[in-house]
Amino acid sequence: MNQVYFDNAATTQIRDEVITAMTEVMKNYYGNASSSHSFGRSSKVLIEKSRKLIASCLNVSAGEIFFTGGGTEADNLILNSAVRDLGVQHIIISKIEHHAVLHTVDQLQKEYDIDVSYVNLDKKGDVDYLHLETLLQKEEKTLVSLMHINNEIGNVLDIKRVGDLCQANNALFHSDAVQSVGHYKIDLQEVQVDFLAASAHKFHGPKGVGFAFVRKNTGLKPLIFGGEQERGLRAGTESVHNIVGLEIALKIANNNFEEEEAYVKSIKQYFIDSVTKHIPEATFNGQSDDLEKSSYALVNICLPVPPKKSAMLLFQLDLKGIACSKGSACQSGSSQNSHVLAEILTDEDLEKPSVRFSFSIYNTKEEVDYVIRVLKEFI
């Protein structure tokens, strides 16, 4: 049986170089980074080296990078503290944000009775920037939280435009950049983002580690208490090997952006062309078939399959060794349709199966051929 992994938006294969570096750290740098002896100091040096490298990739200072357990924790830290400690009374989001943002904002609304506004989206799922500007006119202290790249349909937000709008209206701007850090060059001296969340396992690093970018002097306070790690913002003994793994993965990605983007983009274009040729009744969700307006690593397609048969699609693909998904991996096992697609598809198209295929440097055109063959057979 062929084995094809087209679910890289859920998580990615760890690079060999990352595994090698992490193994070296686990074997030789086991001291607690908070300890004052040489073993602890050696671990601390590795953490700070990683912090500096990550900061340089984003063109920020090392003091603005805080390590977390992943993107979800970073989102929670930023949103909770913004309301609890910074006095944010109004949050602007879209209805197609990741649940790490949506569910956190729901809870904050219940707990603090904040105002929540939803920016309008067009039929492709893109943000209505004029409506966003209107929403920013409220006099309350406002935070905008919009993801850089949507994890289900791949739409790319113009974060520079949003950042400029927020700055002009004295609003804070947070972006879940889990699908873009490690895939796109982001210069945070050019983009006015106050807070940003990232996760290593989305760019060939380890699971269980990420970071929050927190612009200087914003006054954010901890979500997790117990120690003075991460300059008091995130208590808990640091996972040194994971942090080094994140550093190495981001360093390699940063050094190979153009080459790797070109390769993965060629796989995506080949997939789009193959679907268009062999399954002409299929349609593409959001902007996912537009390489300029969506992530170069992700396609979401609506297939011409009757409702009764659609429930078996992912099961049949799995039997054929094909890994893909109907949406966010965080919703796996849920009987509910994608909240993202529910916002942009017609009721008729929602009855059909939509599948997300996401690619990486480890995929090939031969794998695309196999997947298209299996889809044709099923249809």
Is it the case that residue 77 has pLDDT exceeding 70?
Answer: yes
Residue 107 and residue 128: Cα distance in Å, rounded? 25
Mean pLDDT on 182-195: 97
Q: What is the structure's pLDDT at 80? A: 98
Contact 248, 21 (CB under 8 A): yes
Q: What is the structure's pLDDT at 330? A: 54
Mean pLDDT on 258-265: 98
Q: What is the structure's pLDDT at 308? A: 85
Q: What is the structure's pLDDT at 336? A: 63
Q: What is the structure's pLDDT at 334? A: 47
β-bridge pairing 195-199 and 142-145: unpaired
Q: What is the structure's pLDDT at 333? A: 46
Is it the case that residue 260 has pLDDT exceeding 80?
Answer: yes
CATH level 2 (architecture), domain 4-12+256-378? Alpha-Beta Complex (3.90)
Longest CA pairwise span in the chain (Å): 66
Q: What is the structure's pLDDT at 315? A: 93
Residue 353 and residue 339: Cα distance in Å, rounded? 14
Q: What angle do CA 129, 132, 134 make, to 5 degrees?
A: 115
Residues with catalytic function: 330
Beta-carbon contacts of residue 258 (< 8 Å; ≥ 6 apart) = none
The proportion of the chain whose per-residue pLDDT surpasses 70, expressed as a percent, equals 97
- What mean pLDDT value characterizes the chain? 96
Is it the case that residue 379 has pLDDT exceeding 60?
Answer: yes
The alpha carbon of 78 is separated from its chain's Cα centroid by a whole number of angstroms, namely: 15
Contact 206, 22 (CB under 8 A): yes
Extents of the domains making up the chain: 4-12+256-378, 16-255
| pLDDT (tens digit per residue) in 355-371 | 999 999 999 999 999 99
Is it the case that residue 75 has pLDDT exceeding 80?
Answer: yes
Q: Which residue has the tokens 């040194």?
A: 240
* Positive or negative torsion for Cα 34, 35, 36, 37: negative
DSSP structure class, residue 14: P
**224 burial level (CB within 10 Å; 0-12, 13-18, 19+):** middle
| pLDDT (tens digit per residue) in 316-346 | 999 999 999 986 555 544 446 799 999 999 9
Q: In this structure, which amino acid lies at residue 356?
A: R
Q: What is the structure's pLDDT at 1? A: 59
| pLDDT (tens digit per residue) in 250-259 | 999 999 999 9
Q: What is the structure's pLDDT at 307? A: 84
Contact 296, 261 (CB under 8 A): yes
Mean pLDDT on 149-168: 98
Q: What angle do CA 34, 35, 36 make, to 5 degrees?
A: 120
Which band of pLDDT confidence, cut at 50, 70 and 90, is reported for residue 290? very high
CATH level 2 (architecture), domain 16-255? 3-Layer(aba) Sandwich (3.40)
User: Which residues on adjacent β-strands are paired with residue 181?
Assistant: 184
